Structure 1
């Protein structure tokens, strides 16, 4: 089958190649070996040059009038338009050149009317082509060609932010179990501790010389805070406890017959008792061997 590019490559066409393209569509369905019989019809169209040559010889022998090739040039016009052999008549460009010259003559005789020109090409007059529907077939081919033209893809307008090549993607959400979440929390804690523990140099320089800069206390962890609170809640040791811890124990030995020492006065303060930890040198101890009195109840 003939393609549009092959037809456009043919030189010396007497009419535009686009017009001949629609003539070929209707006349031969783009089959270069097509044969049209006047008053008859072939069972099928030839598929190669050999079948086409054999068929035209058979038709010629039997006296049939026929047209052949892409532009369906009638056998009576072959010699007039340079198609001096059947083989040449089935060639693409020679056949199209002959058909374009016939159509150009019809166009000139019709006064520049393409409809009448198509009717003239079909039947040799300006009427039969309209009556048999041939002219309408040419126009239908033209309409199909227009409808098959690829349409441009419509443009969809989008927002300026979306259209910007420099726009950035929205930040991805951070989950509590992700590494990014732990890094972010650690950075926040470090920044907070640093800002609380370090006094900005500018603020320290602008403060009066007599003013002592106060460093905010860093908040301790909950467990450590609880331990500190429990420690501070305990009462401070009293003076009596401190004096008792400092008192030195001095052992005293007495026999069973020694008199019991009198108890200290009730109104004596604990601090006075604790203030006299040592034994007076003038007091006598009945068990003291250095005084000559022995106690037979104890054996040392």
Structure 2
């Protein structure tokens, strides 16, 4: 699965490199990844196993995040093809776009880098600050900065965005 191509083809709202960085952090590029908020889950090995575990966790009242971009169950209905890479990326892109729009409105005049970081914090926690603090020892925003730097695609001959 080529995440770069999916990040470009499955959505048109967000810089594909941002999508790639979020996927790296959230699921380590595993399309059937599951996470239980405040708990642990054995990772599924197949799509059918992933849907079975997701349904069981939902039925148990757990808050679960699913797929490449770890979309929380509060953001999609039962029956959504959330483990389909394009569907998952589409949901994630809409959440990122919403966060980014809110950041730009709240932090007018901030740098592009600050907007990106606060957008990442919002994606992680629903607000613009928690991602700078949690998880302790390796905050989400720091992990985003590192992952994003790995995914920046510069035109041939350029090394920096401002070159």
Contact 1:2 1:30 in 2 (8 A): no
User: Which of 96, 107, 132 matches 1:130?
Assistant: 132
Residues 145 and 35 from structure 1, CA distance in 2 versus in 1: closer, same or farther, beyond 3 angstroms?
A: same
| Equivalent position SS for 1:26 | helix
| Counterpart in the other structure of 2:18 | 19
Rounded to whole Å, the distance in 2 between the matches of 1:25 and 1:32 is 11
**Considering only aligned residues, what root-mean-square deviation do their CA atoms show, in Å?**
2.2
| More helix per residue | 2
How many positions carry a matched residue from both structures?
Answer: 143
Give 3-state SS (helix, strand or coil) of 1:67's partner. strand
How far apart are 1:144 and its partner, in Å? 3.2
Instruction: Determine the structure 1 residue equivalent to 2:71.
Output: 73
**Is 1:8–2:4 an aligned residue pair?**
no
SS of the aligned residue for 1:98 comes to helix
- Is 1:85 aligned to residue 82 of structure 2? no
CA apart distance, 1:56: 0.7
Map 1:140-289 → 2, pairs under 5 A: 140-145=146-151
TM-score, normalization: structure 2? Answer: 0.79
- Say which one has the larger Rg: 1
Relative contact order, higher structure (CA 8 A, sep 6+)? 2
Note the residue ranges of structure 2 that are not aligned, 5 or more in a row. Answer: 105-111, 158-163
TM-score (norm 1): 0.44
- Decide whether the 8 Å contact of 2:21 with 2:151 is kept in 1: no
Q: Which of 49, 69, 87 is equivalent to 1:51?
A: 49
Matched, 1:104 2:103: no
**Structure 1 unaligned regions, length at least 5:** 153-300
Is the 1:35–1:68 contact (alpha carbons within 8 Å) kept by the matching residues of 2?
Answer: yes
